[in-house]
Each structure stands twice: as structure tokens, then as C-alpha cells.
């Protein structure tokens, strides 16, 4: 009896400790279907002591939209296909003459390019996050219409000295963040609360 309880306790401890082994994580394990959701990529340390200088995340193709939040001191680039249902001045259609020069329109177009639902990449570069600190890089995403998907967010972390850490491995069969040396952050799409 004691042995069985002890083994059960060790199994529970392993489940609780498993997410700590992942070095880039999401702040949410579950996201509601058919919703706009704020997600934060948590960078818990650099690469073997070297400071983080860039973070690149590949968006899951199941997303129906995504927009990154600018991060002070970092450059932001968003790459993707033209958005579904693009309206004049966004995506592939030319802007009307009165809209072509409005302030911030180019930045808005770059953000809109990632809102297509098509696979794309968001990159924060040019900053410096010392290995001794952690930070969060934020996205606003539009989740799939139906629950059930497991969304993978493969991340490449670039650090000083040319060191690169890849958090791109598929999740373990039961979900979660995986058990390999470079698990990609994941979120499960669940039913919306009534």
C-alpha cells in the first residue's frame, strides 16, 4: 500500500514538474474556441547563459488570425499571407488615395498580413533579455471555430554568440508540452463557456 501510494505520488510530482522542463511556454494551457485570446510566450532563460536577442514563433495554421504586441526595445516583424476577406488598403488590394499616407498604415498592413489564418511567423528581434531574467512576448489570436485542436507554436530562440535554441518538437501523445529537449509550446482548443 505504501509503495503504491509512493509511486502515485512520484507520478503526480512528475506531471507537475514536466512543464518546468520546457523553457519557452504559453501562459495558458487551454483556449476557448471561436474567440479572441491573449497569449503570452514566456521566455524563462537564455541559451546556456547567453542573453536572448531574438524570438521567432511559427503560427499554427489552425488560427484564424494573430496580431503581435510590440515589445519595448525590440523590433517586430510579421510575415504571412494576405488576410481572408481583406478590405481596401489591406492585404493585396491597393489603398484608396486618401488612405495611402495615413500614419501607421504600413505597420497596420504588416499586422493584418498575419491575420489570415495561414501559417506565418512573428519575430521580435534586436532586443536583449539577460539569462538571469524572464519576460513575456504577447500575441492576440483568433482561435479555431471548433474545439479539439492542439495548437503548436514552434519557437526559435536566438542568443548572443550565435547560439540558437529550437523549441519546435511535437507534443507528447497525450498533449501537454512534451518531454523532449525542445518541446514547442502548445494550447488545447476547448469549448467556449456558455
What is residue 101's predicted lDDT score, i.e. its pLDDT? 38
Separation CA 79–CA 131 (nearest Å): 28
Separation CA 27–CA 30 (nearest Å): 9
- Average pLDDT of the segment spanning 124-129: 97
Nearest to 190 by CA among 21, 30, 45: 30
**What are the structural domains, with CATH classification, of the chain?**
20-87+103-172 (2.60.40.2230)
Residue 150 has pLDDT above 50, yes or no: yes
Nearest to 70 by CA among 130, 139, 120, 142: 139
Residue 7 has pLDDT above 70, yes or no: no
What secondary structure letter does DSSP report for 169?
B
Q: Is 6 exposed, middle or buried (0-12, 13-18, 19+ CB in 10 A)?
A: exposed
- Of 33-37, 111-115, 147-151, 181-185, least confident by mean pLDDT is 111-115
State pLDDT tens for residues 15-37: 333 333 448 999 999 999 999 99
488590394: which residue's cell? 93
Residue 127 has pLDDT above 50, yes or no: yes
| Contact call for residues 80 and 118 (beta carbons, < 8 A) | yes
- Average pLDDT of the segment spanning 42-62: 96
Residue 29 is placed in which grid cell? 494551457
Separation CA 13–CA 21 (nearest Å): 13
Amino acid at each position: 500500500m505504501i509503495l503504491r501510494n509512493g509511486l502515485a505520488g512520484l507520478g503526480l510530482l512528475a506531471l507537475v514538474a514536466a512543464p518546468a522542463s520546457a523553457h519557452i511556454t504559453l501562459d495558458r494551457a487551454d483556449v476557448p474556441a471561436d474567440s479572441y485570446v491573449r497569449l503570452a510566450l514566456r521566455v524563462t532563460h537564455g541559451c546556456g547563459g547567453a542573453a536572448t536577442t531574438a524570438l521567432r514563433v511559427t503560427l499554427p495554421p489552425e488560427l484564424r488570425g494573430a496580431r503581435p504586441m510590440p515589445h519595448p526595445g525590440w523590433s517586430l516583424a510579421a510575415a504571412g499571407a494576405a488576410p481572408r476577406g481583406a478590405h481596401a488598403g489591406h492585404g493585396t488590394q491597393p489603398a484608396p488615395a486618401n488612405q495611402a499616407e495615413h500614419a501607421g498604415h504600413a505597420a497596420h498592413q504588416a499586422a493584418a498580413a498575419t491575420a489570415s489564418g495561414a501559417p506565418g511567423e512573428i519575430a521580435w528581434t534586436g532586443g536583449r533579455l539577460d539569462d538571469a531574467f524572464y519576460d513575456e512576448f504577447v500575441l492576440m489570436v483568433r482561435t479555431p471555430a471548433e474545439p479539439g485542436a492542439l495548437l503548436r507554436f514552434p519557437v526559435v530562440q536566438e542568443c548572443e554568440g550565435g547560439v540558437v535554441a529550437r523549441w519546435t518538437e511535437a507534443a507528447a501523445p497525450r498533449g501537454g508540452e512534451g518531454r523532449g529537449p525542445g518541446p514547442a509550446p502548445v494550447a488545447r482548443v476547448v469549448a467556449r463557456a456558455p
